[in-house]
Amino acid sequence: MISRTVLVAAEDFGEAVTADRAGGAIGRGIRARDATLAVDLCPLRASAGAHATAGDYLAALDFDARMRAARALVVGVDRLDETTLLGSLTFELATRARQSGVPAYAVAGTNALSLFDARVLDLQVVLTARNARALRRAGEKLAELV
């Protein structure tokens, strides 16, 4: 049976949009376009630094099981750039998705990745959105793709 759940793992989008608001807006967009899709929200906190590693932080969120149960992973971040490739939490999420065979998509406030860098992360699509309204529209677009 194919999963009807999309895991949305979102960080804060600057000071204006918290992780909860970002993930919620993306999730509402997904559900508005396809009411048969469930959304599992996984807000990512700056407090990840309190854990020894990104792996410890993700284990505390039961991230791997949630991701494997999902049809797709949507990563929401304020900025994607080449530093994203240097062991960040975003890199870890994308790597785990690739290794598990779960397609990963991204919504970023700013996308400064080259096409090659996006391919390294194995992101299917990178959409840009800077506010809650644009995040919801990005969710609607993603519902068509997943």
Question: pLDDT (tens digit, 9 = 90+) per residue, 32-41?
Answer: 999 999 999 9
What distance lies between CA 96 and its chain's CA centroid? 12
Using 50, 70 and 90 to split pLDDT, how confident is the model at 48?
Answer: low
Domain range holding 14?
A: 5-145
d(CA 37, CA 3): 9
Quote the number of domains for the chain.
Answer: 1
When pLDDT is cut at 50, 70 and 90, the band that residue 54 belongs to is confident
Q: What is the predicted pLDDT for the residue at 16?
A: 81
Looking at residue 17, its amino acid is V
Q: What is the pLDDT of residue 45?
A: 80
pLDDT at 55: 85
CA dist 88 and 73 (Å) reads: 16
pLDDT score at 95: 93
At 14 the pLDDT is: 80
pLDDT digits (tens, 9 = 90+) for 102-137: 999 999 999 999 989 888 889 999 999 999 999 999
CATH of the domain at 139: 3.40.50.10350
Report helix, strand and coil shares of the chain as percent, to nearest 5.
45, 25, 25
- With a pLDDT cut of 70, the percent of the chain lying above it is 94
